[in-house]
Amino acid sequence: MSDQVAERIAEIIAEQALVEPDQIRPETTPEDLGLDSLALVEVVFGIEEAFDISVPYNANDPESTDFDISNFAAIVTGVKKLIADREA
Amino acid sequence: MSAAGSDRRRVVITGLGVVSALGTGRAAHFEGLREGRVGIGPIERISAERLMIKIAAEAKGFEGTDYFDRSQLALYDRVTQMALVAAAEAMAQSGLEIDEELGLRTATIIATAMGGLHTQDENYYAVYHEMKNRVHPFIIPRLMANAPVSQVSMKYGLMGPAWSVATACSSANHAIGQAMQLVRSGACDAAVTGGTESVLCFGGIKAWEGLRVMSKDGCRPFSKTRNGMVLGEGAAILVLEERERAMARGATILAEVAGTGMTADAGDIVAPKMEGAARAISLALADAGMPAEAVDYVNAHGTATAINDRTEAAALRAALGEHAESIMVSSTKSMHGHAIGAAGALEAAAVVMALTENVVPPTMGYEEPDPEIGLDVVPNAARQAPVKAALSNSFAFGGLNAVLAFRGA
């Protein structure tokens, strides 16, 4: 079975970046897609709404937050952990 | 030659009233600023249970019921209540007697970026959550953004030009700058001006949470450890008068509003641009006929977001040159929080304190220098120092900048 969490996240990011979801690869970065900090806040919001989780992301200082948004794979890993934490 | 020609009318402050997290009344505000008292703490006036950001600079001691009766409260949102209390203090200090002739020549320019947000929030709750089909008849006159300015003009019979200003975090500086220009131009002889704001209701704080620029643990402007802004609330009202007129009636002159510079970045809806901020500073100096070297103190916008503080430091260097390194720069938001549409007014009050008492309010919460900023940020304790001229910066979301230049009396 395919990875539904990754697919849904790709859809959310793709919608913000105005690309097709299949253009997003594990190593794709927000910069690759031209997503600025405002767009990233919307991506984080979309993810929170889709998975009913709270993502610890501070737009003011992204590097210092616990949530790694450096590339698509990191985001998927982080979201899966948050989903697991919620269900634990 | 400087714009401040000798024949130009000059505009002075003869009255000041304040409501802030540091207390009600200018004495309490000044005392808090002198002591470096941080008015930021756990949110108590509403339930913080569902909030992610649980701190703010609430004006905890301010309750409208202490000042107004039931029929007045039916018409006054918290922003109007605070504006009226601050206006009463400012009018009393000025000693200005408004007869019909002066009333016709007095402007009322009072900023609020968000208007009666408490009223709006409570009534959305009533109609959407409680499913009520009927609301109080005065919701509109309570929540409209011009409610504070209209109530102040009604209270004192001020019949000259009057309007509210909404430019987010720059609102009050725009208001004070416009009021100064009305008096300076001769269109008016006096003006009641400033700003009032309270976004500290559930929906208001939730909206700010969404932007993810808020700190969960404190406001630390210019410190390397800063991690975002902290909301505040309050009002400050200034009475401005043409200088000759104020002197002729023997009024005590607190300070002069000497110039203003206003610009738009035409850039980003949230991120500030260094060039727009620097231009506003330079324009304010030129308008005041004030050389950069004359400036002793800058009350910074200083929101404690990574980008604002970095941009502001660069703008100060661009506009003031070498002198930026020796100037005192502090962010009093570290004490009274970011009061959005009232911010510039609370900060003008801080400037009045610096000019009248030669005490420079500190930047509290300062933990670690940021090499990208430098500057003498007057860390963690007020400083006794002569202050003859000062600037106050406001740089709003939407790229709208307004800087005021002040001189001592």
- Residues linked to residue B235 through DSSP beta bridges, in sequence order: B19, B196
Average pLDDT (B262-283) is 96
Interface of chain B toward chain A, CB-CB under 8 angstroms: 52, 210-215, 227-228, 269-271, 305-307
Task: Compute the distance between CA of residue B336 and CA of residue B22 in angstroms, rounded to an integer.
Answer: 6
pLDDT tens for residues B62-71? 999 999 999 9
Q: By the CB < 8 Å criterion, does A66 face chain B?
A: no
Any residues with CB less than 8 A from the CB of B110 and at least 6 apart, and which?
B83, B148, B149, B152, B164, B165, B175, B192, B193, B194, B195, B196, B237
pLDDT band of residue B6 (cuts 50, 70, 90) is: low
Q: What is the pLDDT of residues B338-352, one digit of tens each?
A: 999 999 999 999 999
Contact B357, B16 (CB under 8 A): no
pLDDT at B288 over 50: yes
The residues of B annotated as belonging to the active site are 169, 301, 338
Q: Considering only alpha carbons, which residue of chain B is nearest residue A57? A: B212
Q: Do A61 and B306 touch (CB under 8 A)?
A: yes
**CATH topology assigned to domain B11-248:** Peroxisomal Thiolase; Chain A, domain 1 (3.40.47)
Interior angle at CA B401, CA B400 and CA B404, nearest 5: 150
Question: Where exactly are the structural domains of chain A?
Answer: 4-87
pLDDT value at position A57?
Answer: 86
Q: Under DSSP, is residue B22 helix (H, G, I), strand (E, B) or coil?
A: coil
Burial class (CB in 10 A: 0-12, 13-18, 19+), A32: middle
All residues of chain A having their beta carbon less than 8 Å from the beta carbon of residue B307 are 60
Residue A52, Cβ density class (10 Å: 0-12 exposed, 13-18 middle, ≥19 buried): exposed
In whole angstroms, give the CA distance from residue A19 to residue B307: 29
Amino acid present at B212: R
Question: Is residue B325 pLDDT above 70, yes or no?
Answer: yes
Mean pLDDT of chain B: 96
The reply to whether A79 touches chain B by the CB within 8 Å rule is no
- Which residues 6+ apart lie within 8 Å of B129 measured at CB? none
| CATH superfamily ID and name for A4-87 | ACP-like (1.10.1200.10)
Domain residue extents for chain B: 11-248, 258-408
Contact list in A for residue B225 (CB cut-off 8 A) is: none
Please answer whether residues B43 and B111 qualify as being in contact, where contact means their C-beta atoms are separated by less than 8 angstroms.
no
Q: Report pLDDT digits (tens) over A59-83.
A: 877 776 778 999 999 999 999 999 9
pLDDT band of B7, cuts 50, 70, 90? confident
Domains B11-248 and B258-408 belong to one CATH topology: yes
Confidence label for A56 from pLDDT (cuts 50, 70 and 90): confident
What's the pLDDT at B5? 54
The pLDDT confidence band at residue B15, using thresholds 50, 70 and 90, is: very high
The per-residue pLDDT for B255 is 98
| Average pLDDT value for chain A | 90
- B214/chain A closest Cα distance in angstroms: 8
The arithmetic mean of pLDDT across residues B36-40, rounded, is 98
Say whether pLDDT at B1 is over 60. Answer: no
What is the DSSP code (8-state) at residue B127? I
Confidence at residue A13, expressed as pLDDT on a 0 to 100 scale = 96
**H or E stretch covering B407:** strand B400-408
pLDDT value of residue B2: 45
Task: Tell me B128's DSSP state.
Answer: I
pLDDT band at A8 (very low <50, low <70, confident <90, very high): very high
Residues in a beta bridge with B406: B257, B390
Place of tokens 């002889």: B189
DSSP states along A13-78: HHHHHTS-GGG--TT--TTTTT--HHHHHHHHHHHHHHHT------TT-GGGSSS--SSHHHHHHH
The rounded distance, in Å, linking the Cα atoms of B175 and B265 is 19
User: Residue A38: which pLDDT band, with cuts at 50, 70 and 90?
Assistant: confident
Note whether A57 contacts B: Cβ–Cβ < 8 A: yes
Does the beta-carbon distance from B269 to A64 stay under 8 Å?
A: no
- Give me the CATH topology for the region B258-408: Peroxisomal Thiolase; Chain A, domain 1 (3.40.47)
Interface residue A4 vs chain B (CB under 8 A): no
State mean pLDDT over B27-40.
98
**How large is the average pLDDT for residues B210-237?**
96
Task: Answer whether A51's CB lies under 8 Å from A82's CB.
Answer: yes
The residue written with tokens 């500190």 in the block is B362
Q: Provide the residue type at B37 as one letter.
A: R
- The whole-angstrom separation of Cα B251 and Cα B260 is 24
Question: What's the confidence (pLDDT) of residue A66?
Answer: 78
Rounded to 5 degrees, what are φ and ψ at B32? -60, -45
Contact B270 A60 (CB under 8 A): no
CB-nearest partner of B213 from A44, A54, A60:
A60
Q: Reply yes or no on whether the pLDDT at B263 is more than 70.
A: yes
Residue B18 pairs in a beta bridge with B236
pLDDT score, position A2: 62
Pick the closest to residue B13 from B352, B386, B398, B307 (CA basis): B352
